[in-house]
Amino acid sequence: MPETHYEKSRALFIRRWGEMAASWGISRTMAEIHALLFLSNKPLCTDDLMEVLQISRGNASMNVRQLIAWGLVHREHQRGDRREYFVAEADVWQMFETISRERRRREIEPIVETIGKCREMLAEEQNGAADQAEAATVFDARLTDMQEFFTVADRLFDALVKASQTKMGKLVAALSKL
């Protein structure tokens, strides 16, 4: 039986979502499972995920656990069925807030912590050759700039998360006028 436009469209989206996963720092399979659950109009069990994505039970289980840990997927009980079913967060704004928070925790917070440690180490150094002192001064200035950038970006992220979808639309409209 030939694939319908719905099936082709769904497969295309799942594939692209999986390809995008590398830029998030997650596995392709994790993103494909997320896409499949996000697009689904009903909860899916591990067997459903395995069948559609052609993956092993272990791969499906491991990646669903990670999606649950991220807060992008939750379990749902089906009365009369012993299998576990899964549902993705359907609110796109909430989904991207969750992804952004996790990326901030995994990517931004460690570099901000490292910048702080580097600046502390530079501050502890009292003596040094003149050329090294000059290099350390430039290094510290650049770290300070980067630290300030991340502080502003962090505040901006918090403001965006607190804004509702309606407020976000107004903000985008105002910014587009600039």
pLDDT at residue number 97: 84
Give SS3 for 178.
coil
C-beta of residue 64 within 8 angstroms of C-beta of residue 86:
yes
Ordered by start, the domain boundaries in the chain are 5-88, 92-176
| CA gap 38, 87 in Å, rounded | 7
CATH architecture assignment, domain 5-88: Orthogonal Bundle (1.10)
Q: How far is CA 120 from the centre of its chain?
A: 30
Contact partners, residue 120, CB within 8 Å, separation at least 6? none
pLDDT at residue number 127: 64
pLDDT at residue number 125: 74
pLDDT at residue number 96: 84
Per-residue pLDDT of the chain (178 residues; tens, 9 = 90+): 678 999 999 999 999 999 998 777 789 999 999 999 999 999 999 999 999 999 999 999 999 999 999 999 999 998 999 999 999 999 988 888 888 888 888 888 999 999 999 999 988 876 666 677 888 889 999 999 999 999 888 888 777 777 766 777 777 777 788 7
Burial-class residue 160 by CB neighbours within 10 Å (0-12, 13-18, 19+).
middle
pLDDT at residue number 100: 82
**Closest C-alpha to 168, from 102, 94, 98:** 94
pLDDT at residue number 59: 97
How does strand 73-76 pair with strand 44-45?
A: unpaired
71 backbone dihedrals φ, ψ, rounded to 5°: 90, 15
pLDDT at residue number 75: 96
Predicted TM-score of the model (pTM): 0.75
Taken in order 25, 17, 64, 28, is the CA torsion positive or negative?
negative
| CA gap 83, 19 in Å, rounded | 29
Q: How far is CA 78 from CA 20, 54, 130, in A?
A: 32, 24, 71
